[in-house]
Amino acid sequence: MYENETIEFKETLVTKLSPKQNLTFNYLKDKYREKGFDIEDNFLVQLELYTENKEFNYLAYLLSDQNTLQFQYARYSGDDVFDLAAHRDFNNQSILKTTVDILDFIQNRNTTFSRITSKGREDRDKFNPIAMRELVVNAIVHNNYFSNGLPTFEEFSNRFEISSFGGLPEGFSQEDFLAGYSLPVNPELIRVFRDLGLAERLGTGIRRVLKYYPKEVFRFSPNFLRVSIPLQKPLYKYELTPDSSLIDLVKDDPHITRAEAAEKLGISESSVYRQFKELEDEGIIVREGSKKSGYWVIR
């Protein structure tokens, strides 16, 4: 080493001091026990939860029951951020518990749209659950926790956006990322997630996502990584014949009556009435004007 040469110190979750020292790890230990690990006296040491000065580090803080970082979910009624419809915070718990809670919450937002065709039932998810799980976990484990930025989860009428702070690691290109190569930002945190089955061991998460969505869903900037997943729309629920459907009839003739639709489809008026009502209830069609002189509008 040259006389004036200095080595740049890079802070990590292991070297950064925890803002709290009175920490417990009940949730962390329970999850390791559930996976069949023996929790010995040196368990916290093995997970590298101490600094060189034997104080809890930032990794310990993230995994502790006293972690107060606030992860946010927001849902908007439109395709922009002006009409907030719902909001939820996930905090005051281990980052592991936060991850599980966010995964459960978002997956519960998934909807399976169905329709009956002449060939059988067709189902389509609002979003792919495998890809969504990978993206949520990826945002949390690769976030840069050395600033005030935290992952955010935003649901719009036409898309779901997940943003993480920090951008790509230095020397790691967009091409590397999209090719499925992995360069962990927080390797000690990822180790715990892998131990507990929350993250893949081979770094295959992005390749899993690209199996279902194009690479254009990812947006890169120096300080952020954002993914925007398009949301599926409801399918028209009924397609009762190979050549025609109730929706097609309404498209061709918005003034069509239930009796006329029943005759064209070869089914009873009561069946057509039920189908019209369900399409109205689902917001797919709406009746404008009076019963006699009104017409149907497809939304």
Distance, CA of 158 to CA of 148 (rounded, Å): 29
Q: What is the pLDDT of residues 55-78, one digit of tens each?
A: 999 999 999 999 999 999 999 989
What confidence tens digit (pLDDT) does each residue in 171-209 have?
889 999 888 888 888 999 999 999 999 987 666 788 899
Residues 235-287 pLDDT 10s? 654 443 333 578 778 888 888 888 888 887 777 788 788 888 878 877 778 88
Give the confidence band of 165 by pLDDT, cuts at 50, 70, 90: very high
Q: Minimum mean pLDDT among 12-16, 153-157, 238-242: which range?
A: 238-242
CATH code of the region 71-113+127-230: 3.30.565.60
pTM of the shown model: 0.75
Q: What is the pLDDT of residue 201?
A: 65
Confidence at residue 31, expressed as pLDDT on a 0 to 100 scale: 97
CA distance 13 to 18: 9
Average pLDDT score over residue span 41-53: 95
pLDDT at position 6, please?
47
Higher per-residue confidence, 154 vs 248:
154
Which two tokens mark 188?
Answer: 């000690």
| CB-based contact 193:184 (threshold 8 Å) | no
Task: Using the structure block, give the residue that is written with the tokens 């509008």.
Answer: 297
Nearest to 155 by CA among 214, 87, 222, 201: 87
- pLDDT for 240: 39
pLDDT at position 297, please? Answer: 83
Q: Vertex 190, ends 172 and 226: CA angle to 5°?
A: 50
Q: Which two tokens stand for residue 226?
A: 């954002």
Q: What is the pLDDT of residues 91-145, one digit of tens each?
A: 999 999 999 999 999 999 998 776 655 555 677 889 999 999 999 999 999 999 9
Q: Does 225 have pLDDT greater than 90?
A: yes
Closest-CA residue to 205 (of 298, 137, 270, 272): 137
The Cα-based distances of 129 to 105, 123, 125, 275 in angstroms read 12, 14, 8, 29
Nearest to 129 by CA among 18, 213, 28, 42: 213
What would the CATH number be for the domain defined by 246-298? 1.10.10
Which residues of the chain are in CATH 3.30.565.60 domains? 71-113+127-230
DSSP H helical ranges for 2-46: 26-34, 43-46
Contacts of 291 (CB under 8 A, 6+ apart): none
